[in-house]
Structure 1
């Protein structure tokens, strides 16, 4: 009887499991790996149409054939296999893909307010949301990340932030060759889609968005503009109930000055949202895991599903507004090392 060979499979950054192979074939390896994946991962692969890729011990070669498996065991007695997830386009072969590698990320997080009888302080914005988004976009994806340093920000301060951003980064010329803009807004909010500043004044989200549209920022007319907006949008308190999720396609418009926007809202119009940081945590967890291997649409779908399963997840109803003509993939920016 042939002795079984042991190998290790790294499921994520912390979890590793052992598997045993007797035939050393690619099909057996895939079968053994699938048996150690948890149910949620398998469901995610099916819903999001991911293809599993197996990476060898040297972290450079994909394991795709029986010979690859045999050679890996010749190199190491107990090899470590890693997994990556590839976005399958087989369901929509006509989809255009836009890969982002050099985005500018601008975040406003307002966590302290002058009148706490009307507007509560939001400590999780400073303690969790800013940290989550900075870890993801600056440390993992290596994008330029700019955010306000103070917990308080007046309405004029918000306007000054974006004016200074335009000047300091020369956005009207796009001299830094950014291929996308990502704007993150975390604060109290109110009906009419307005961000509430520390002095209790409203800043229109539409006006902020308008400053980045094709008419006002022509240098970015062919670049995706991604907005992540985590604010309250009214006074209605959501109630939890079981529901069947159903997909809905967004209409696409051609030649409009609002083309190219992909906006993610933490909740729908008219509803409050609680200070639990579920949106930033969900985005960080999902994006970190799947980054350059799946589309933004797919990742947000998974973020929405994950939030639904959390305690207090009923406070969130993640909504997407999309006027892009392509699927967006966020890939890490390559680091350039300078020899001294």
Structure 2
């Protein structure tokens, strides 16, 4: 119906609301005698208006059912904030959309420097599960950050493990000459102790 199609959205909303809460008779009286378009409408138009309303509501319902729900979040990549839209609240979807944000120079950086991407929240808590993602979406503005981690170095953000006698575990069976510097490890050479110290500090993130 041409008259219906010419109405603005706010007018359509008002008409639909009246149609929903009124009986057929009341709605007809409102259209013919009370609404602001009463001088444009005749009794013969009522059926067409009802049909237009029903068709419009079915169209809206179909669109809503077919439209996939989306969740919006922000991802900070090298201090640049980008907006992503996720089709589901999962870690896999977050990772997928984050990779879509990366520019070619980011992939070059990954390849050239042998890096991997790590997602964290704004408190530097590692994001690695669906539960982590859902928890962040409880905030008004879910925001994630990308940090770059070397494959040769395992970094645990905000956590430090301390181990005592770590060197003993790996090298107590070594058979080297005495070294006065390491009196508790008589058979360890200085170069070996440095190697093991580096292993635990850099690779395993232990304090020595």
**For this structure pair, what is the TM-score category when the shorter chain's length is used for normalisation?**
0.3 to 0.5
Q: Which structure carries more relative contact order (alpha carbon 8 Å, separation 6+)?
A: 1
- Report the TM-score, using the length of structure 1 for normalisation: 0.26
Larger Rg: 2
Higher helix share: 2
User: Which structure shows the bigger proportion of residues in strand conformation?
Assistant: 1
